[in-house]
Structure 1
Amino acid sequence: MTLEGGLESSASLEGAAALEREVVVVGAGPAGLSAALNLVRARRSTLVLDSNRPRNAATFASHGYVSRDGISPLELRRLGREELEAYPEASFAKAVVSNVTRIDGGFAVAYGASVVTTSTIVISTGLTEKFPALPSLRQFYGTSAHSCVECDAYEYADQPIALIGETDDLAARALVLSQWSRDLIVFTNGVGVVTPEDEAMLGERGIRVERRELADVAGDRSGITGVALADGETVPRAAVFVRPVYAPNLAYVSELGLEFDADGYLVVDGGGRTSVPGVYAAGDSTAPGPQQLIVAAGAGAKVAAALNRDMLI
């Protein structure tokens, strides 16, 4: 079997020559593509593995990325991959990585029916999101329901907005969101924690806290029109910002003995080095909560520089 980029695959390490790349990058979001682009420009043979199921696939436009403000996240990924594949040192495969194990001199990365060996790995696989259990929320996600305040709040400046969440940091997120609109209601769904002191602080800014249980979000073809409470009342709103519970996608590296923080994110130094030599990480898997695309891309470039220097020693 031949993969995209001309890379031939091997079903196993036994009875067949194992594939060899200097670097395998797992994940082709901004962090992974940025790392890979800088690595191939350093003439490092690099294989990028990606499932092509990005968390922001439903989002029509991404913001804050200089020279690309308003671009579709999928288009940004397409352009990044197109740039990368112009280099002969680059290979790309659409695949889910199932496991990474240590071998002499490096690592074996299993994906699909194939295995590739490499001396170094860049982890850039991002996060999964768990939303409050509202039946219609996903229907509007990426259009009039969003999770990233810094990315999307500008488009709803001075409009009636809802913040929905079930965590204990809702007051802090509401405070940031109030920079764009003071017509804001925080919905805790009877679960999220807002202390009396924080509620008073928000009240001084005209922000109300609604603790009743929710039934769903309401809307039509134009987008969200309100938040439906379990008691039958619908509170009119033009948009919803939801506070998901995030979790990094790192089960495939569970055998490497990596160090994680208390929230399950990878512990890295300033160059993206993990606790295991030869394993680097960039992007959402290294810090709580999602990073803006341009921040993740910058992290990928920093990792590439550190990795390339380390390989010279």
Structure 2
Amino acid sequence: MGSTEHADPVVHDVAVIGAGPAGLSAALNLVRAKRTVLLVDANRPRNAATLRSHGFLTRDGISPLELRKLGRTEVEGYPEATVVQSVVDLVAPDADTNTWRVHGSWRGTELETLARTVVVATGLREEFPSLPMLRAFYGTAVHSCVECDAYDKAGQPLAFICETDDLVDRALLIAAWTDDLIVYTNGVAPLDAPGRARLSAAGVVVDERVVEDLEGDRSGMTGVRLADGHVEPRTGGFVRPVWHADLDWLRASASADAAADTPEPLEGLQRDTQGLLVVDRVGRTSVPGLYAVGDVTPPGPEQLIVAAGHGAVTAAAVHRDLVGGLADLRDAV
């Protein structure tokens, strides 16, 4: 979609920001409700490094990129859908039109449009422990989603690298698939006596030394190298990223002042302690007309099929709200 400098922006019923399983599912169900939908795809999936996704009924083992491609093609097949590639930099209520103003750009082409409602499905950004070779093995030997990938690592000597305070619960979950698990705190993750006792009872080894890097070659990962030089043979494992919800583009105003270095955040928008968007059971945020689905909502990252299910549930809520009439955004925001 090109610049609309000399034309009035199109008003869509719904703008879905993000084209992962949650956003695609929401968009598909909304166009089938005869809603005009703008689907904005930045083409920056968090699971781009993953070769195979699992647990998605009828699509077990499919490439996540292929799954996204199939979903986007399905949505594009409906005349009610407009699918664009763009990086959104502003979504804000427009008091003059009682809609949401959506702005973005992609390689010099601007996106400028209006929508009666907005569904945020942008997912999360991952921050990994600082290990030079981690990215080389991520998605093949090392994974972050236990439910998705532990089956294929069952019975192997595994490592779990975690620097956060949920180390114990996550380690015990991984231990359900192997009896040879070493947890690496990297000298960072807090671990109290009760936590140590739980891990010990499950046969999980804890190593609190600093991890220098992973070792391996083109055939795969072979071990974990510690800062003291010790190399522990490991064929794979899991890592606990720190997730960030980058939502600075949700702003209070679509005026020129919103482009300032410190734009005013969207008033009344509730986020939890991790920065995720707080929603009700059908994806409504605390701001009328704004919805959120998928990883950007608590509890955070989830299986693809779960995210897709949430997208369908929220689509139904958006449609019902549009039928019933939304609260006036000028009064709500």
Name the residue aligned to 2:329.
Answer: none
Residue 108 of structure 2 corresponds to residue 97 of structure 1:
no
Following the alignment from structure 1 to structure 2, what is the Cα–Cα distance between the partners of residues 253 and 126?
A: 14
Q: Which runs of 5+ in 1 are unaligned?
A: 4-8
Following the alignment from structure 2 to structure 1, what is the Cα–Cα distance between the partners of residues 228 and 61?
A: 38
Deviation at 1:101, TM superposition (A): 1.5
Name the residue aligned to 2:210.
Answer: 213
Identify which of 22, 47, 54 aligns with 1:31.
22
Residue 151 of structure 2 corresponds to residue 154 of structure 1:
yes
Residue identity opposite 1:108 in structure 2: R
Following the alignment from structure 1 to structure 2, what is the Cα–Cα distance between the partners of residues 135 and 277?
A: 44
Residue 100 of structure 2 corresponds to residue 107 of structure 1:
yes
Residue identity opposite 1:226 in structure 2: G
Name the residue aligned to 2:74.
Answer: 83
> Which is worse superposed, 73-82 or 253-262?
253-262
Residue identity opposite 1:303 in structure 2: T
Name the residue aligned to 1:64.
Answer: 55
Alignment of 1:157-306 (within 5 A): 157-255=154-252, 256-257=266-267, 258-306=269-317
What is the TM-score with the length of structure 1 in the denominator? 0.95
Deviation at 1:261, TM superposition (A): 1.4
Encode CA deviations 1:222-255: one digit per residue, 9 max, x unaligned.
1111100000010000102001111112121143
> Is the Cα–Cα contact under 8 Å of residues 263 and 288 in structure 1 kept in the other structure?
no
| Matched length | 304
> Is the Cα–Cα contact under 8 Å of residues 224 and 240 in structure 1 kept in the other structure?
no
> Is the Cα–Cα contact under 8 Å of residues 219 and 226 in structure 1 kept in the other structure?
yes
- The 4+ residue runs of structure 1 with deviation greater than 4 A are none
* 3-state SS, counterpart of residue 66 of structure 2: helix
Name the residue aligned to 1:308.
Answer: 319
Residue identity opposite 1:193 in structure 2: P
Residue identity opposite 1:230 in structure 2: A
Q: Percent of pairs identical after alignment?
A: 55
Residue identity opposite 2:125 in structure 1: T
Residue 25 of structure 2 corresponds to residue 17 of structure 1:
no
Deviation at 1:149, TM superposition (A): 0.6
Name the residue aligned to 1:51.
Answer: 42
Q: Which runs of 5+ in 2 are unaligned?
A: 253-265, 325-333
Deviation at 1:188, TM superposition (A): 0.4
Residue 31 of structure 2 corresponds to residue 40 of structure 1:
yes
Alignment of 1:102-141 (within 5 A): 102-103=93-94, 104-112=97-105, 113-141=110-138
Name the residue aligned to 1:6.
Answer: none
* 3-state SS, counterpart of residue 252 of structure 1: coil
> Is the Cα–Cα contact under 8 Å of residues 151 and 292 in structure 1 kept in the other structure?
yes
> Is the Cα–Cα contact under 8 Å of residues 276 and 300 in structure 2 kept in the other structure?
no
Following the alignment from structure 2 to structure 1, what is the Cα–Cα distance between the partners of residues 196 and 25?
A: 41
> Is the Cα–Cα contact under 8 Å of residues 116 and 289 in structure 2 kept in the other structure?
yes
**CA-atom RMSD in angstroms:** 1.0
Encode CA deviations 1:121-146: one digit per residue, 9 max, x unaligned.
00000001111000110111101010
* 3-state SS, counterpart of residue 64 of structure 1: coil
Deviation at 1:16, TM superposition (A): 2.5
